[in-house]
Structures are given as structure tokens and as C-alpha cells.
Amino acid sequence: MNEKEKNELYKEFGIDDAAGVFENLQEKESLGQEILERIQATKEIREGQDRILKLRRKKTMLTIAAAVGFVLISTGLLFLQPFGGDSYITVTVAKGETRKLVLPDGSTVWLNSASTFKYPKKFGEKRRVYLLEGEGFFDIVHDDKVPFVVEAAGIKTNVLGTSFVVKSYQALSTMSVAVVSGKVAVSDDHQQTSVLEQNEEAIYNKDHRKPTVVKVKATERKAWNDGNVILNAAYFEDLVLAVENAYQVKIKYDQQKFKNCQNSIRFNTKQSLKEVLDLIKEIQGITYQIKEEKEVLITGSGCN
């Protein structure tokens, strides 16, 4: 089709200036192509900017995560350091039982009922152990260069080589250290220090922490190791706890009524619970009931 025939065809559709239309179409096509190219360029620029922003955000988040991780790890290390994680062994003795332990230096510890004890798998420059709850009899191997320290409820017992009993039950209002042989130095958080020799006992009241040093027959303090319970001028709470731990029972009584009661008692854990309660009834004038599920109810006038 020649140019003349094209023009005639355009005229049939009412188009007079075919050449102008054609040129106009070409211009429009050229403009449309330019617009498409600009849109594509803008899209590529924005995609590039988005990638840069994402990379920056990712880098920022990684930096924050690393900083937080460092703080948590540092805090964790500081928290775990005192007990060294797996480098310590924790031993818990159930009610009605006692247990013997041999420590890394050859020292021996006997733990009484309802006691929890923590010690290192290996001693280094220090020999330090923790009586977290309960009572223990310690027979320590002598070492002039490395003192042995027992920590219990803020009270530290320092020795070079000796044997002694530490009693620190949470249920009691007092804790004590009694020397069976040798000499020990006992101190608290306020740096109050008592030097104890054989057959001396330091008793700490948990309220004021002031130690009272008394003369005792220290071998009686570890009699529980042979199944014997010997309490001299002991408060009623101490007597009750001894029975609870030996016979795995819970004793309910009016603590305020019996707060000032002090008694001396001796019994063997091979005796029945009823026999021991009858003995307490005789010396204290109580009335008791043994209920199901190992519960005992004690009533009486007390010592007000």
C-alpha cells in the first residue's frame, strides 16, 4: 500500500491529516517508552534503597543482639561464679536419714536429717564448703597453708584441722558451732569473731547475731550420728524439730505458748514415735494426738 492509498484509507475513517497523526503516534510511543524507562529506573533505585535499609537494619539488630548477649552472658557468669556450676556437688539428706561424705582433701562430714550441703569437686587455693540447711559434724584434715571454711547462714567457721559441729536449721531461731577437738574461729557478716576451743559452743540468735559462748560436752552434739538425740536445756522448737526430722512427721503446736519452754531430753531413733512423745509428755506436761498422714498435734499450757 502506497502513501496515496494510505491517505485515502484514513479519509474513509474521517482522518484528514494522516501524516500528522502518524507523527503524533510516533511521538506518543516515544514519550511512553521514555516514561516506562524512567519508571523502571525509579523502581530500581527504590529497590536498591530498600536493600540498603534492610542491610542497615539487620546490622543494627545484630549489634543490639550482640550487646544484649554480652550483658546476659556477663551477668550469668557473675551469678554462677560463686558455685561454679558443675564444679560443685550438692547433697540433700532426707528426714529420718544421716549420711557420711568424704571431701576431696580427705576430710569427713556426717550430715544429719533434713540437711543440704554443697562442696567443690576439687579444692584449689581455698577449702570452702556450704551448709545450706541442717546440721553437720566435720572432721577436717590438717593443713597449715590452706584453712578450711564452712559457711552457714552468714556465719563462717575457720579451721586448720579439727572436728566440730555446725547446726543451722531455718526453722530454728538460733544456730550454733560446737568444738569437739582442736580450735576454731567463728565470724559473722559484721566481723564479730569468737575463738572456740574444745567443749565450747557459740550460739547465735538470728535476730541480733550476738554470739553467746557456753561450755558443753561437745561429743553429745554429734550423738545423732549414732542414732541418739541428746538435748540439754533446749528450747521446745529445737526438741520438736528433732522429733520431726527423726520420725518424718509434722508437729503442730502453739509456738507462742511454748516459746520459752526449755527441756533436756535423750532418746534413740530406734524408739517408737509414741514412746518419744510419752517422754515429752512426762517432762513438759503436754497432750498429743497422732493423726493420719504423719501428723502430730500437741496441746498444753506451755511456759508463759
What is the pTM for the complete model shown?
0.71
Residue 150: pLDDT over 90: yes
Q: How far apart are CA 33 and CA 27, in angstroms?
A: 10
Chain segment 166-186, per-residue pLDDT in tens: 999 999 999 999 999 999 999
Please provide the distance, in angstroms rounded to a whole number, between the alpha carbons at the two ends of the chain: 131
Architecture field, domain 85-222: Sandwich (2.60)
CATH class name, domain 227-299: alpha beta
Q: For the chain, give the number of residues.
A: 304
- Could you tell me the three cell numbers for 58? 539487620
> Beta partners for 106?
none
Residue 77: per-residue pLDDT: 33
Q: What is the mean pLDDT of the chain?
A: 82
Residue 257: pLDDT over 80: yes
Query: What percentage of the chain's residues is helix, strand, coil (to nearest 5)?
Result: 35, 35, 30
Residue for cell digits 517432762?
283
Give the CA distances from residue 277 to residues 1, 112, 202, 239, 274, in Å, rounded to whole numbers and listed in that order. 129, 21, 29, 11, 5
Q: Which residue has the higher pLDDT, 22 or 58?
A: 58
Residue 202: per-residue pLDDT: 95
Chain segment 60-103, per-residue pLDDT in tens: 554 444 444 443 333 333 333 444 446 999 999 999 999 999 99
Going by C-alpha positions, the residue among 219, 230, 250, 236 that lies closest to residue 95 is 250
Q: Assign 91 to helix, strand or coil.
A: strand
Q: Which residue has the higher pLDDT, 143 or 35?
A: 143
> Beta partners for 134?
168
Going by C-alpha positions, the residue among 136, 147, 137, 133 that lies closest to residue 105 is 147
Residue 75: per-residue pLDDT: 35
Q: How far apart are CA 248 and CA 1, in angstroms?
A: 116
